[in-house]
Structures are given as structure tokens and as C-alpha cells.
Structure 1
């Protein structure tokens, strides 16, 4: 027997304390007097709808949601809770941000697997409405309690969580990608396209080039299969049944573009050039609408830029003037291309001071076209650019400027929790420690202190698990 107050006892006490009769409170709340009586005094009492509860709460001059924790028992009052009332309650909780109540309800429902379809459906509804934080609670519940590991709703839930968890934290992104990876082929084909594209992009930012190649190839294969199947339908719009984020041509082209970029980072320039040829002219792709043709145009520009990249990485310094003219014509290509130019200068030992005067490396370079490329990819490129530029300046004996740029890049790597770049830059700093100013040394030591503190906190967290 519990001594905790019920929602009806709390409401009745509030009415008595404020001196309301059922008649006066009916007028104040807008709820019929007979309905109020049935709710508060009926035997058994009439169930309260979430809309009625909000009206009562407002009439009592309490914040909406004040009685939601007590209302949970109203929803789960028997062995067979009213599903419609449960759904209305949880959607309302999501609307006003009462996520703790959602967690309580889900923990109560988890014992009965028959509720998983409803839980998943609510998660999907909230996801479509843009209420991602609340939706995540429903997807997490599916992931925890779904016993059929090959179920489609489990795969979709894992995919949604993967997408929602991607952010600026490289370590977190790696965990999210690793966790989602086994479920990628269990998704419906349209979501599988998006899943593979985002998975490849995630590993790209983590510089896991062999993984990028693997998932890019899977993306190529899937996009081509869907394309060939769609062509056979002879439909006016062969892709009308796909519910993916982009036009099909994007997934086909990105499969080759991402693979080529990964091969380029591995120094496999000939293989990378073969990939460039595959997306340089996609005008043959059937079913292109206005959006599709715009994407084809983008791939054509990217192919031209990447050919320049491969030429300059191979040491063809003579192509620089032509490349610079291209970048002036396509300024949104400056960030990715300038990174390659500085890297090529470091690899091949040529000077690019005039290029750096033409395209200064600053935060404006990153912020100029934030939506043209995947944000996480741009951040990775910006970090790599600053690291490459630090090496270039140090090589050219511009020590103070190079160390300043190196410390800036270190700070950026720490902020992004990017271990790969961090582990490259610390030895480089130590190599030039004897040239460091007292102010730069202080900045570096403060930064290392933050890193050590973060590592200790991580150890403490893992120890508690």
C-alpha cells in the first residue's frame, strides 16, 4: 500500500484550499461540471485526458506539466493501459520538454514487448516533427528491449541514434559509427543509402581511410542496384518510392568521390584518378530532375578540383596558376583545395607564399560556405589545413608564425577531441620547443593541462561503469 498522493487527491486539496466549488471551477476551467464530478468523485472515477489535465492545471494557476509525474499512474493504471491515452501523454510531454516523465513511462512499458511497435512509431513521429531529443528516448528503448536483432525497427532506431549523436566530438562520433555499423545492411534501401553515406563521412573525418573505402564501395553498389532496378520500372519518376535525403545520383557520385578522396590520402593517386573519372560527367544518369542536374553540376566541378589536387600532389607545380584561377571562379572550393595545395607544398618542397596571400587562412575561410559540404568534413579540412600550414611555415623558417599556427591547430584538435591530429602535432611542437616564446609555452602548458584533466575524467567515468 502506497502513501503517495494520487492526482485526484492533489487536485481536490487544491480546489478546497482555493475555495472552489465544482460549479465555480467548471466555469473557470471550461470543463463541464458533470465531467469534473465524474473525474473527481466517480466510482470508479472517470479517466482524465491530458487535455483536461492541462485545463485543470492552468485553472489552478500551476505551470503546465506540474501534475504530469502523478498522471503517469492515470495512464498505467492496470495490466492493460489505454494506448491512446499513453500516446497522447507522451507526445504532450515531448512538446513541453517533460522528458523525465517519458523515461518513467518507457521504463514501465519495457517489460511488455507488445508495446515496442507503439514506442517505435511514436519515436518516428517525433523525429519527423524535429523533436530529436525526445525521439531519442523512444529509439533507445527499442534498442534496449528489442529481442529480434534483425528487426527493421531495431536497425532504424540504431540509425536514428547514430545520426543524432554525430557532432563535433570525434571520440563520440567513432563510438556512434562503430555501434551503428553492424545494422547498416538491415535498413530499408532508402535509409541504407543515407546510412552508408553518413557512415563513410564519419570515418572520413576520423581519417579511417580503409573504412571510408569499404563503405563508399558499398554505397556505389547499392546506388547502382537501385538505379538499375528503377530503370526497369519505366516510371515517369523512377525514384518516386525512395524516401532518402538526396537525389539518387548523389549517392552514386559520392560513393566514387569518397573512395577517391580516401585513396588520395593513402597516396594511391592513380586509383584515385580512376574514381574521379566515374563522377566527372554523370549526365547519363536517367531520371534527373532540376535538383539532380544541379548535383551533376557539382560533381563536375569537384572532379575538376580533384584532378588539380592529384596533379599538384604528384609535384606538378606548374599547374598552380590554372588552379588559382579555378578557385577564384569557384570560391566554395577554396577550403578543401587550399588544404591540398599546402600539403603538396610540404610533400614536394615548393613555395606557395603568393597563394597564401591570395587566400588567407582564417575562420572566414571555414564560415564562408557552411552548408556546401558536410559540416564535420569541413571542420576536419580546416583542422588539417592549419596543421599543414604550421608545418609549411616551420619548414620555411618562419618559426614564430609557425608555432602560433601550430598552437591554434592544437587547440582546435582538442576542442574537436581529434586524437589523430593531436598525436601528430604534439611531437612537432616538442621538436621546436627550444624556439617557443614564454607566452606560447604557457598557452601550450595550459592546453596540456586541460587534456590531462579531460583524460582523468574519462578514466573516472569508465571506472564507474
Structure 2
């Protein structure tokens, strides 16, 4: 019977005997150097990697994670830690859910604060391979154990947790923004660009317009400052993209606050972007894209200020783009204006009826799911104002369902109040659907 402290090599040797394998056969079948395997089994060296242990487990018909509880001895020698063994070991333990192995290892590592970097490296490997939930625990350990508040490792860990937290739960998203915000300027510059963009997007989806303006301003200023340094900066997109998207989000935030004239100034700026240095092909493509967005958003501002005469031209433009997300944004604008100024847009809604049926495909996207809620809410009001009470109630229930699933408390309460306003006209089925949802307060 195997003892708790029985060496790893004894277990491997037992399996070799059980299966009738010679050392050379195992080495060949497992793709391990025979000399290294011999030294490891004889206790001369700790030379088995976690990957090789996985191959041996498969060879001997064992489940993934076989002997992981003993492998820690391969990583430690007289209190010296093997970084090149520990990192892949922690990664594999996380991937396989071997938390019984992770806890003791981390506990030993934290006897020396310098070992936090090993935990961080394991978290980064998991994050880069999109094992986000597995990485989350390691990043939290780094945060808890890092004493230097200006550590880049600490800032990156906060940023990663912010990204991992992003989803369709509005309350969780907002908590993540608050937690990460103080660390955003402690990141390296290329991380700062991405972080500011993600903070802007998160606040946009949460309709936190003052925060959108703040982060969008920082994004535009940082990208321009980096351009003026003349130093090459690693970034996913050309620097002009971050400059332009900062201006774009600033204009949208001003639009949402109904500061239409101020919003137009920013739209004109990103619709014809100017840059301090000559642009390559990538930069030119970004400029062209912002020109398209600028044209669309100038239409938006005209519609929002009550220009009914431009509605059909705007609808033609949306149709020409043939992008479902732009049609969604455009219809929100058209409905909002129709509700504010009292004109009919039935023909526009009919024109895009097939697109409207596809809006549910956005419900797993942070920003587009927010737009879907707003579309349903404005469409419900539109139906009520045109005397189509049953359709208005159906749209309200649809909006209520979305708000409930996304933990959008303010939207949920607003939809509840709207349904109550017309509840006397609701069918038994509509009332039954409404009563499924719990009462909430703002």
C-alpha cells in the first residue's frame, strides 16, 4: 500500500513492473530521454517534468493528475524552489482542479515574499490560455501578499481581475471598475491604453457617463502623448485608434447627457482625425473607419434634436452599412427621437423587422446587451404612445427579463414601473409573466 511520503519514483517503478515495461521501453513510449529517466528513478536527479508525468499517467492508464500530490518533491530540494517546475505544476493543478495540491504549495511559497512572482507567472500563463477562472485565485493571492502598492505585478493583477469580472452582471462589473480604477496609472503604457479602453467600455455599458468622459479623456491624451515621444509602443491597435476611440466615447457620453452641441465638436474631431506624424496603411484604415462612424453619429445627433426629415436618409445609411450592431444603435436613436417629438417611425421598424428579431444574439455582450435593453424600453414606450398597449406590455416584459438576467437594477425598477402603469390592460398571461419577477427597490 502506498504511503503518503512514498517517493514518486517508487510509484513509477511499481507501475513499470505491473505492466512489464523495461526502463528503455517506458522511455521510448513516453518520449523521455532514457538517461534522464534512469537518473530520476535512481534518485540521482529530479528530472521528471509535469508534462512527462502526465504522459506516464496516460501510459499506465491512470487519470490526469496522477501522483500530483507527490510531484512537489520534484520542485523542492533542500528548501530550494525550482521555478521552472513549479510554474507548470501550478498551472496543471489549476487546469485539473487539484486544489488539494495548490493550497499546500502556495502556503510554502509564501514563506518567502519573493516567491509571489512564481504565483503571478502561473496566473499569467493561465490567463493567456483563457483559463480565466483558474487564474483568478492566483491573482488574488498576489494582491493579498504584495506589500508594495506601486508594484507593476500588483497593478497587472488588479487589471486581470477587472477583465475576468466583466460580464453581463452590471453590479459585479461596477464593483470591478471601482476596485481597479486606483491602479490604472501604475501599469506599463501599452497596458494603460488597453485598460483605459476597457474601463471606458465598462462604464459605457453601465451608463456612468461622467466616468466614461474621464477615462475617454485619459485615453485620448495618453495615446497622443505616446505618439509625441517618438518611441515605439507595443499596442494591439495603431495609436491613432486609441486617440479616435477616446474622442468617440467622449462624444457619446455628452450625447447621452443631451449636450448635443458639445458632442458634435468631438464627432467632427474624430470624423476627420489629424495626427502629428505620417500614417502607415494601418493608421489610414483606422482614420477611414472613424470617418464612417463620424458620419453615422452626426446623423444620430440630427435625429436626436428632432430633425424628422432626415429619418429616411438615416435609415438608408444604416441599411447600407448592413451591420446589425449599428442598426440596433440607430433604431434606439430613432425611437428615442420619435418618443420625444411625437412622430411615427412604423415604416422604419417594419423595414428592419428581421434585424430586430436577431437582437437577442447580443445578450452575451457587455455593451450590445445594454443597447438591447434600451431598444426594448424605448420601443415599449413607442408602442404605448401609439395605442398598441398589448405590444407595449410585451416589449416591457422583454426588457424586464433582460434587466433581471443582467442584474440591471435601475432598468429593472424602471420596467416594473412602466408595466404597473398599464397593468390594468394586461392579459392574464402577461400578468402571470410579470408576477414571476421579484419586487426590487432602487
TM-score by length of 2: 0.88
Match of 2:54 in 1: 54
For 2:52 and 2:266, how far apart are their aligned partners in 1?
A: 62
Relative to structure 2, which stretch is displaced further, 377-386 or 163-172? 163-172
Contact 1:249 1:285 in 2 (8 A): no
Which residue does 2:381 correspond to in 1?
Answer: 391
Cross-structure match for 1:282: 273
Residue 419 (structure 2) pairs with residue 429 (structure 1): yes
Q: Deviations over 1:41-81 (max 9, x none)?
A: 54x77564334433432332212322112212432454222
Confirm or deny: 8 A CA contact 1:65 1:98 kept in the other structure.
no
Q: Deviation per CA, 1:217-240: give whole Å up to 9, x if none.
A: 11122122112222xx6xxxxxxx
Residue 359 of structure 1 pairs with residue 352 of structure 2: yes
Q: Deviations 1:402-432 (Å, cap 9, x if unpaired)? A: 1011101111111122122112111111111
Deviation at residue 137 of structure 1 after TM alignment: 3.9
Which sits farther off after the overlay, 169-178 or 5-14? 5-14
Cα deviation digits, residues 102-144 of structure 1 (max 9, x gap) = 4553343123211123333343344344444444343333212
How many angstroms apart in 2 are the aligned matches of 1:285 and 1:391? 47
Aligned to 2:438: 448
Q: CA deviation at 1:375?
A: 3.6
Out of 391, 394, 415, the position equivalent to 1:404 is 394
Cα deviation code 1:331-383 (max 9, x no counterpart): 2221111111101111122111111111126342464xx7xxx9421111111
Cα contact 1:253–1:279 (8 A) shared by 2 = yes
Provide the residue aligned with 1:157 in structure 2: 157
Who is 1:238 aligned against?
Answer: none
Equivalent-residue separation in structure 1 for 2:140 and 2:424 (angstroms): 51
Q: 1:185 to 1:37 in 2, by over 3 A?
A: closer
Q: Who is 1:186 aligned against?
A: 186
Q: Is the 8 A contact 1:110 1:141 kept in 2?
A: no
Aligned residue in 2 for 1:219: 219
Asked whether the equivalents of residues 37 and 48 of structure 2 are also in contact (C-alpha less than 8 Å), the reply is no
Shift of the alpha carbon at 1:14? 4.7
Specify which of 288, 291, 294 is matched with residue 297 of structure 1: 288
Corresponding residue to 1:259 among 218, 238, 250: 250
In structure 1, the partner of 2:168 is 168
Partner of 1:457: none
In the other structure, the counterpart of 2:106 is 106
1:366/1:378 contact within 8 Å kept: no
List alignment gaps of at least 5 residues for structure 1.
234-240, 453-465
Q: 2-side partners of 1:99 and 1:170: how far apart?
A: 31
2:341 to 339, 345, 348: 348
Q: Tell me how many residue pairs correspond in the alignment.
A: 434
Structure 2 Cα separation of the partners of residues 248 and 27 of structure 1 = 51
Relative to structure 1, the CA distance from residue 444 to residue 14 in structure 2 (aligned partners, 3 Å threshold; closer, same or farther) is same
Change (3 A) 1:441 1:53: same
Tell me how far 1:183 sits from its aligned partner: 0.5
Cα distance in 1 for partners of 2:4, 2:112 equals 25
Partner of 1:246: 237
* Contact 1:387–1:409 (Cα < 8 Å) also in 2: yes
Query: Structure 2: any 5+ residue segments left out of the alignment?
Result: none
- Deviation for aligned residue 1:442: 1.1
Moved more, 422-431 or 439-448: 439-448
CA distance in 2, matches of 1:275, 1:33: 68
Q: Is the 8 A contact 2:241 2:286 kept in 1?
A: yes
**Counterparts of residues 268-279 of structure 1 (less than 5 Å):** 268-279=259-270
- 2:27 and 2:247 mapped to 1: Cα distance? 67
Q: Residue by residue, what CA displacement relative to the aligned partner does 1:167-190 show, whole Å, maximum 9, x if unpaired?
A: 122122111111111101111111
Counterparts of 2:20 and 2:421, CA distance in 1? 79
Assess, with a 3 A threshold, how the Cα gap between structure 1 residues 338 and 52 changes in structure 2: closer, same or farther.
closer
Q: Using a 3 Å threshold, how does the CA distance of structure 1 residues 87 and 351 change in structure 2: closer, same or farther?
A: same
CA drift of 1:164 comes to: 2.2
Matched position secondary structure for 1:362: helix
* Structure 2 counterpart SS, 1:447: coil
SS in 1 for 2:402: helix
**Whole-Å Cα distance in 1 between the matches of residues 287 and 24 of structure 2?**
69
Q: Distance in 2 between matches of 1:270 and 1:411?
A: 35
What secondary structure does 1:448 align onto? coil
Give the Å deviation of 1:328. 2.0
